Amino acid sequence: MNLGNLNDNNFSAGPGALPESVLLQAREAILSVPGIGLSVLGISHRSDWFANVVAQAQSDLRSLLGIDDSYHILFLQGGSSLLFGMIPQALLHHPNERADYIRSGYWSSKSIPDAQLFGKVNVGWDGSSGGYRNLPTAGDLSFDDKASYFHYVSNETVEGLQFHDIPGIDSVSRICDMSSDFLSKPIDCERYAMIYAHAQKNLGPAGVTVVVMHESLLDRCRRRDVPAMLSFHRHVEAGSVYNTPPVFAIYVLGLVLRWMLDSIGGLEQMDRVNTRKATCIYDVLDKDRDFWEVHAHPKFRSAMNIAFRLRSPQLESTFLQEAEQVGFRGLEGHRTLGGLRISLYNGVEYSSACRLATFMEEFSNRYRNKGDAGDQHNNERGPLK
């Protein structure tokens, strides 16, 4: 089996591609963890080995982010979706307490109903009427400065929208769902009370969610009348091992963090690679705007997820078919938006993005001037190999 070929061309929106070196180490660890002689799937979560895995991953995250012990780092289960509910439950202590939210796309829309169960939600900006092609800039936002916290999603994975500035006012605790762009570029952590991101897009396999929470926010979290598994205090006290954690997912997350430090060299370098990847795809899309249509307004385009369309749905299925024939996978748009989507998470290599860009360029050259091209296959030229 040639692992490289299988994973080099994976543009899945999530779970996303992981670096090949990480997959190889994970494969080895499934049989036997080096130096331990047991499968990673069968080692106790109370072992010294696992305690060290957790401590190392926390310390690697601290060095990548440049944060000290005033931030707690947790590895939780339940995905980012569980945090949509845990956060308001912890911070809105009374139904009259308020929180500010931005509704900028599919995922931030999902976070709001859970908050409304516990308090009053002020939606400081709502992009739904514009079809989620834009994001707010500073003047567009109307905030409640007495809010308990402010929540937003830094990268809307479905629509391909990414904030390039940090919204909100510094006097209200800022909480961000960074599920699809965490560790893709440097982060000004000091400006956040809390950041969370499940692993399966940029960081590792599904099953673990990273929470970075400032101690001052933890102090404000509900202590009583919270089920243990939903209590941030319990998880902090237990050092993320309150119950059986997803050992394998945390182990692989740790491998990815080491890869980011040792092979990539940190978040600035990661950002540089990610920007180059996104640029080579957007360049192709921008070259022929009659053929391709990017969903997001140019100012708010995401470097992680590129949602776009072709002029006919039929041509989109031709695109997917031909792409799959030459090995490009994971290019379907989200079921709610349709169209196409390219996800360029940290694990996707620059050379993969370039190969896809070349394929796209050739595709548009072949189909640009055909009326109803979706029906016709040009047998002579066929899909490129």
Ligand X SMILES: *Cc1c(COP(=O)(O)O)cnc(C)c1O
CA-wise closest residue to 71 among 210, 269, 238:
210
Q: Which residue is nearest to ligand X (CB)?
A: 79
> Rounded to an integer, what distance in angstroms lies between the CA atom of residue 376 and that of residue 332?
21
Q: Which is nearer to ligand X, 21 or 134 (CB)?
A: 134
Based on CB atoms, which residue is closest to ligand X, 65 or 153? Answer: 153
Structure tokens at 255: 């491998």
Residue from 177, 181, 259, 277 carrying the catalytic annotation: 177
Shortest Å distance, C-beta 182 to ligand X: 9
In a 3-state reduction of DSSP, which class is residue 354? helix
* Catalytic-role residue among 100, 107, 181, 185: 107
Nearer to ligand X, 153 or 273 (CB): 153
Instruction: From the candidates 114, 201, 277, 292, give the one annotated as an active-site residue.
Output: 201
- What is the distance between the alpha carbons of residues 233 and 334, in angstroms, rounded to a whole number? 35
Catalytic annotation present for 107: yes
Residue 259 a catalytic site member: no
**Residues 317, 309: Cα–Cα separation, whole Å:** 11
Provide the token pair at 252.
């692989």
- Min dist CB 107 to ligand X, Å, is 4
Closest CA to 286 of 271, 297, 273: 297
Question: Taking the CB of residue 138, how many other CB atoms lie within 10 A of it?
Answer: 10
Whether residue 177 lies in the annotated active site: yes
Q: How far is the CB of 179 from ligand X (least distance, A)?
A: 4
Q: Which is nearer to ligand X, 307 or 357 (CB)?
A: 307
Cβ distance to ligand X smaller for residue 183 or 284: 183
Taking alpha carbons only, the member of 313, 321, 325 closest to residue 384 is 325
Q: Which long-range contacts (CB under 8 A, 24 or more apart) does 86-89 make?
A: 86/230, 86/232, 87/115, 87/149, 87/151, 87/175, 87/194, 88/114, 88/115, 88/117, 88/118, 88/119, 89/117, 89/118, 89/222, 89/226, 89/230
Contact residues for ligand X (CB under 6 A)?
14, 79-81, 107, 153, 157, 177, 179-180, 198
Count of alpha carbons within 13 Å of 32, Cβ hemisphere only?
Answer: 4
Among residues 176 and 255, whose Cβ is nearest to ligand X?
176
Q: How far is the CB of 300 from ligand X (least distance, A)?
A: 15
Closest CB 156 distance from ligand X, rounded Å: 7
Q: Which residues pair with 71 in a beta bridge?
A: 214
Contact 371, 330 (CB under 8 A): no
Report, in Å, the least distance between residue 197 CB and ligand X.
8
Give the residue numbers annotated as catalytic, written as ranges: 107, 177, 201
